[in-house]
Amino acid sequence: MASDDFHVYDTTLRDGMQQEGLSPSVADKLAIARHLDGLAVGFIEGGWPGANPKDTEFFKRAQTELDLKHAQLAAFGMTRRSGVKAADDPLVAALRESGAPIVTIVAKAHPRHVDLALKTDLRENLEMWRDTVTHLVAEGRRVFVDAEHFFDGYLLDREYALECVRTAVEAGASLVALCDTNGGMLPNQIGDAVADVIATTSARVGIHCHDDSGCAVANSLAAIDAGATHVQGAANGYGERTGNANLFTVVANLQLKKGRKVVPDEALAEMTRIAHAISEVTNVVPYSKQPYVGFSAFAHKAGIHASALKADPDLYQHIDPAVVGNDMRVLVSEMAGRSNIELKGRQLGYDLSADRDAVARITERVKELESRGHSFEAADASFELLLCSELEGPQSTEFFTVETWRVIVEQTADGRHVSEATVKIHAKGERIIATGEGNGPVNALDTALRQALGQLYPDLARLELVDYKVRILEGDHGTASRTRVLIETGNGEDNWSTIGVEENIVAASWTAIVDAVTYGLLRAQR
């Protein structure tokens, strides 16, 4: 169990799920909770039981299906309604019945919200705070209070905002999390208000920030510097509008920059894996430039950077990527110098330090191809094939040669579109002709090629086309523009990306497919 001195409180499953386009199943939420427990957060807010059937079911299933090793589960709800006792309010009853040891209630701390949203007076609002907290504490729950719109309310009526906090503490709340619900505050405003609340009320204070001003992480850190000992955030910065404070960034900054041990080191080393695993569950493409855990967080492109990295990686990295489970990547592009090529080769298992001529040839080859539209930074597999061919000779990657290929797209009488591809290849001394059908020309070509090679290379049966991207490189030429195709292929264990650049989109796709299959065979051979 995490220390109670400082709380890392995750709200991915409740506030984070308000992000546009997110609608996880109960099974998804249970899977995400397990991943978050692996980060060793102190609390996982599971949702709002009683407010919707999905969250009610989540808490019911959590009692038998969640075996949390580090975190405690928190149920989220609101204060009782105006004019109704907390003991008689069905939504408060749902919090009691959730089985969660922690209850977090949201309460209004902004006078205009009390008037316009709750349609009650300020005194009754304070009684709603008091009655709900007192009741839940008496029922054996530990109660946290989220003071909604606190900072905006504080600017409008400081005395009332402070009275809200005092009321919660007097009623038995363990802490009050001050919420920048609209996300419009700046760090100095947050820090000043938090310091004032602590000095004036002696309450234990937490912080809950949204990112509408781009300051959610900075605001969270400012609040902690001012004395907050509870921080809320969501995995990958999920949340409505521009999102919540990114929990991963907050945790890494606290531990690695502020020297505050908030999760075990071994859990921090799992952070990148956990971030990407949650992205898989939510079906949201990981943001490559996300601090610490993004795919590009430690990617180096310019030649001068790579030259320095050879001497000491710390010269262009603010931390060792391994601390958060990430990796340094050296990108190969038209900006690449010899150091980039040498470092990238080392990452792929090729020692180029003693072969300056080869490095020079590969560098010039990369720059030539990139001037024609290739992008090797996004296609590591195509680059490795180029590298292998240059160092070991073309025969090292020549598992087959292509004689011809063609593809036909036909519309049938019932309006269906059918693609049929034929390939003629030579492999292991045989001339092979194969035909494949698919739901499009690329799928048909991929099917035909693998059918042609399948008996000679059984490992190809494991290959699957995972992703397909197209980009027009010269828009002023209209439909005659040059086209770049990136294909991601997997074998059930790893994925790799290959590239094709041609004026014809099908030809570009074919080049990327051939590279993808060739790379798969190269991996199987090693």
pLDDT band of 334, cuts 50, 70, 90: very low
Could you tell me whether strands 43-47 and 72-78 are parallel, antiparallel, or unpaired per DSSP bridges?
A: parallel
Q: Rounded to whole angstroms, how far apart are CA atoms 321 and 192? A: 34
Q: Rounded to whole angstroms, how far apart are CA atoms 220 and 215? A: 8
Asked if pLDDT for residue 333 goes beyond 80, the answer is: no
Residue of higher predicted confidence among 320 and 249:
249
Q: Rounded to whole angstroms, how far apart are CA atoms 525 and 519? A: 10
Q: What is the DSSP letter of 16?
A: G
Residue limits of CATH 3.20.20.70 in the chain: 7-282
Per-residue pLDDT, averaged over 150-157, amounts to: 97
Residue pLDDT, tens place only, 445-461: 999 999 999 989 998 88
Per-residue pLDDT, averaged over 114-121, amounts to: 92
Residue limits of CATH 3.30.160.270 in the chain: 401-525
Residue of higher predicted confidence among 280 and 436:
436
Predicted confidence at residue 335, as pLDDT, reads 47
Residue pLDDT, tens place only, 487-502: 888 888 888 888 888 8
Asked if pLDDT for residue 343 goes beyond 70, the answer is: no
Q: Which of 52, 67, 71, 104 is nearest to 3 (CA)?
A: 71
pLDDT band of 94, cuts 50, 70, 90: very high
Could you tell me whether strands 142-148 and 430-438 are parallel, antiparallel, or unpaired per DSSP bridges?
A: unpaired
Per-residue pLDDT, averaged over 147-172, amounts to: 97
Asked if residue 486 lies in contact with residue 465, where contact means CB atoms within 8 angstroms, the answer is no
pLDDT band of 477, cuts 50, 70, 90: very low
Asked if residue 242 lies in contact with residue 183, where contact means CB atoms within 8 angstroms, the answer is yes
At the second CATH level, the architecture of 7-282 is: Alpha-Beta Barrel (3.20)
Looking at the DSSP bridge assignments, the partners of residue 464 are: 490
pLDDT band of 2, cuts 50, 70, 90: low
Across 115-183, where does the E strand assignment appear?
A: 142-148, 175-180
Residue pLDDT, tens place only, 359-414: 777 777 777 776 677 766 667 788 888 888 877 778 888 899 999 999 999 888 88
Residue pLDDT, tens place only, 48-74: 999 999 999 999 999 999 999 999 999
Asked if pLDDT for residue 200 goes beyond 90, the answer is: yes
H or E element at residue 442: helix 441-453
pTM comes to: 0.70
Q: For domain 401-525, which CATH number applies: 3.30.420.270, 3.30.160.270, 3.40.50.620, 3.20.20.140?
A: 3.30.160.270
Q: Order of strands across the sheet with 430-438?
A: 401-411, 417-427, 430-438
Asked if pLDDT for residue 331 goes beyond 60, the answer is: no
The first and second tokens of residue 224, run together, are: 């902690």
Predicted confidence at residue 366, as pLDDT, reads 73
H or E element at residue 29: helix 26-38
Predicted confidence at residue 493, as pLDDT, reads 81
